[in-house]
Amino acid sequence: MWTEEAAATAEARESGIRNKSSSSSQIPVVGVVTEDNEAQGVFKPMDLNRVIKLLEETDKDGLEEKQLKFVKKLVQCFQNGLPLRDLAQIFKILNLCAGKIKKQPRFVESAYDIIKLCSLPFLKKKVSDEITYAEDTANSIALLGDLMKIPSSELRIQICKCIVDFYHAEPPKKHIPGYQQASSSYKIQMAEVGGLAKTMVQSITLLEHQLVEKLWVLKVLQHLSTSEVNCTIMMKAQAASGICTHLNDPDPSGQLLFRSSEILWNLLEKSSKEEVIQQLSNLECLLALKEVFTNLFMRGFSHYDRQLRNDILVITTIIAQNPEAPMIECGFTKDLILFATFNEVKSQNLLVKGLKLSNSYEDFELKKLLFNVIVILCKDLPTVQLLIDGKVILALFTYVKKPEKQKIMDWSAAQHEELQLHAIATLSSVAPLLIEEYMSCQGNARVLAFLEWCESEDPFFSHGNSFHGTGGRGNKFAQMRYSLRLLRAMVYLEDETVNTDLCEKGTIQQMIGIFKNIISKPNEKEEAIVLEIQSDILLILSGLCENHIQRKEIFGTEGVDIVLHVMKTDPRKLQSGLGYNLLLFSTLDSIWCCILGCYPSEDYFLEKEGIFLLLDVLALNQKKFCNLILGIMVEFCDNPKTAAHVNAWQGKKDQTAASLLIKLWRKEEKELGVKRDKNGKIIDTKKPLFTSFQEEHKIIPLPANCPSIAVMDVSENIRAKIYAILGKLDFENLPGLSAEDFVTLCIIHRYLDFKIQATHKQRELANKSWENFLARTSNAKTLKKAKRLQEKAIEASRYHKRPQNAVFHGTDIKGLNTTVPSGGVVTVESTPARLVGGPLADTDIALKKLPIRGGALQRVKAVEIVDAPKKSIPT
């Protein structure tokens, strides 16, 4: 930038050239025009420091006119863009102008014109200018937010326009040699660095009643919130709550609600979701959202209004995930339940009187969103009563029925199918909380009838377009899948009323029939869905039959056949990822719950080589199945027919069951870090079963309601189960064992002895402690020796480096002849009778003789002394 001396020198040169050219005798001089000279022609010479100095001056006549004139020249000078190297000085001039506005209002126009320049491109002379002047640029842009405090409408609007233009960069109007336009995102990045978003959020509080300016600020925040950095800054400035509380401000244009909702969306997506939810989880915000949603629900008829209504509902659903949000207190929960059910359950509430949802895309999405919000709301237990009052179960069950022919429907076939699946999925969450309502609506009968239709051959051309309809195109698998999920949720409540009702309605036979029907018609295309259906059926049967012999008898041989069918699955499919692992777990669970304990079913299972199939799966050496299979075998071994089947089994390479079990024992001990030599013999005879985990963690204090590590060791690792099985086989005459197997078998045989061994050790320690106590009480020398050891231990445990000026309080009681720590019982001698006058003495008399301060007795007033105590009269 030119200085005054440089300008004077240039003027002198121009004068000299003119004088020389006027003489005909002189040879004309052709000047070489450089890029700098050409740039100087675009940027007129301007001494910015002089302008700053001039604006800092005060108390001179005609100074204001001169200052305004120079600022106007500055604006004219930079009409094609702002060089980054001059930005700091230009914004200092802007700040000086802004500071004069309060006393000299004419400077509003000057500030306005300079701010307008900020919409022009920022120019760099060198590639490195963007880095070199980054700090100056960030501070300059941050100043724009601070200028929002100036109470000038036109200035505030121009600031907002300028910031919005950052996101719509245009090329320079005129190419300036020697300069390049800064990158299109440079202004945006510098706005992030400078923290412009924070000051723009804070400016909202200044615009309570200025609608136009407020809309411009929201437009700016809408642009700024497209960046994660800005969203984080805005979140920390409490933007979410500040914007949400103003959702209902009057605005005929509708822009305020639209822009505010988009900003809230961006904040939820691009900053800390938990923090934003926390900001919105207050009564004021939720009341504002409730009023907006209700107005749009009742009076919004345009496509735009419906979309906005759905956006507000999604934001509300996200907030409802916070259990601390006062959804019930503000009445929003009650209204949402009403809006979700008024189509199915007629209501006289004025909010929905005369309202009807169309089959438009927006209303269809609204219906699904309302079902979804019910699932969220029901997680808060106080909502249960509102769900009962709103007859939610009855409303949802209107969808759990087969399609009726020749009936005029409010929704298209595809829409109705999707809502049907969504309603059943919602029932899976809500019905377990409302058992009485579920039973009063004949829930079991409705679901079983619907399942019967799902299994039937009735023609049904499902669309399977939705998330819930996955795998259900052209069939009824989706309906069956969600109905079984609902039944499973109800069965696993272990409510005897529900389960008895299901059994009385023939659910066990129906489930077995559906399973057999499915396996008779293989469907490889929808294999994953079919496997899930089979798993759910087995889990339902397990829930119904567990601990009920009569129901296990109903399960019978037909039930055993479907279990055996699954057990014969090709083991290679377990690695397919389609759900065979889950199906096998469900099958093992059904063996435990539906077969064990029912002798006819056990015998049939054994006859059909069920133990062989269990051992085949066990031989796969998959740890996730081992524990459960071994537990089942322990129970089966109570049946006298089982031992023969176990001993008869042969695996690969003629492996026997005993050899397999011993191999599993060795593998388990290796994983647990139990010490054994190369031949499998015990190394540490004092701790033959001690694991590396127990050695590392030593003693861990646990709550009283938690099982100890010893108990967990027995229940979680498989050694106890292997010991029990081999014990049932008498540890003798076990075929197919190697020398190493026999060594391990000896250890297994003594497993229980090694576990009692710890008990013996505890008893020995207790006996030794008692003997030491007796020795101290009967022998004076032993007592003195114990006393010296105790004092030595106490002294060693003390902290010897005392701080200066510290007061030492002795805790030893001299002359005490005991080495036993004091117990939890303290004997306190009562106050002598001569002081209190005996057990029947009047309180007043006692206080007369011995006034006491402190504690419960505070009465010390002088009282006339009498000869005899008065007897208290009960009132």
pLDDT of the residue at 825: 56
Distances (CA, A) of 291 to 110, 303, 312, 330: 44, 19, 11, 10
Question: Closest Cα to residue 336, out of 304, 314, 354?
Answer: 314
**CA–CA distance, 419 with 869 (Å, rounded to integer):** 86
Question: Closest Cα to residue 712, out of 726, 728, 691?
Answer: 691
pLDDT of the residue at 40: 47
- pLDDT, tens digit, 9 for 90 and up, residues 633-654: 999 999 999 999 999 999 888 8
pLDDT of the residue at 209: 85
Mean pLDDT of 556-567: 95
The secondary structure of residue 382, as a DSSP letter, is G
Question: Closest Cα to residue 479, out of 432, 562, 395, 416?
Answer: 416
- pLDDT, tens digit, 9 for 90 and up, residues 354-400: 888 898 999 999 999 999 999 999 998 899 999 999 999 999 999 99
Backbone angles phi, psi at 682, to 5 degrees: -70, 135
Contact 378, 433 (CB under 8 A): yes
pLDDT of the residue at 41: 45
When pLDDT is cut at 50, 70 and 90, the band that residue 25 belongs to is very low
pLDDT of the residue at 10: 38
Chain centroid to Cα 281, Å, comes to 16
Token pair listed for 118: 């900020």
Helices and strands in the chain: count of H runs, count of E runs: 44, 3
Contact 133, 114 (CB under 8 A): no
Residue with the bigger pLDDT between 687 and 9: it is 687
- pLDDT, tens digit, 9 for 90 and up, residues 182-196: 988 999 999 999 999
The secondary structure of residue 568, as a DSSP letter, is T
Residue 560 has pLDDT above 80, yes or no: yes
Q: Is 266 left (phi over 0), alpha (psi -120 to 50) or beta?
A: alpha
**CA–CA distance, 594 with 624 (Å, rounded to integer):** 21
Residue with the bigger pLDDT between 503 and 42: it is 503
The secondary structure of residue 591, as a DSSP letter, is I
Mean pLDDT of 820-827: 56
Residue 486 has pLDDT above 70, yes or no: yes
**CA–CA distance, 90 with 98 (Å, rounded to integer):** 12
pLDDT of the residue at 196: 96
Contact 239, 263 (CB under 8 A): yes
When pLDDT is cut at 50, 70 and 90, the band that residue 801 belongs to is confident
Mean pLDDT of 860-874: 41
Residue 630 has pLDDT above 50, yes or no: yes
Indicate the average pLDDT of the chain. 83
Contact 134, 191 (CB under 8 A): no
Residue with the bigger pLDDT between 829 and 214: it is 214
pLDDT of the residue at 757: 63
Q: pTM score, two decimals?
A: 0.76
Most confident among 16-20, 396-400, 862-866 (mean pLDDT): 396-400
Contact 231, 271 (CB under 8 A): yes
When pLDDT is cut at 50, 70 and 90, the band that residue 171 belongs to is confident
- pLDDT, tens digit, 9 for 90 and up, residues 27-40: 333 233 334 444 44
pLDDT of the residue at 5: 37
Token pair listed for 237: 């400035």
Question: Closest Cα to residue 94, out of 122, 78, 71, 73?
Answer: 71
pLDDT of the residue at 24: 35
When pLDDT is cut at 50, 70 and 90, the band that residue 466 belongs to is low
**CA–CA distance, 751 with 757 (Å, rounded to integer):** 10
Token pair listed for 128: 């490195």
Token pair listed for 448: 């079983």
Mean pLDDT of 285-313: 94
pLDDT of the residue at 855: 39
Cβ of 708: how many Cβ atoms within 10 Å? 10
**CA–CA distance, 532 with 583 (Å, rounded to integer):** 7
In the three-class reduction of DSSP (H, G, I as helix; E, B as strand; rest coil), residue 326 is classed as: coil
DSSP track, 747-813: HHHTHHHHHHHHHHHHHHHHHHHHHHHHHHHH-HHHHHHHHHHHHHHHHHHS---PPTTPPP-----
Contact 584, 539 (CB under 8 A): no
Q: Where are the beta strands (DSSP E) in 37-84?
A: 82-83
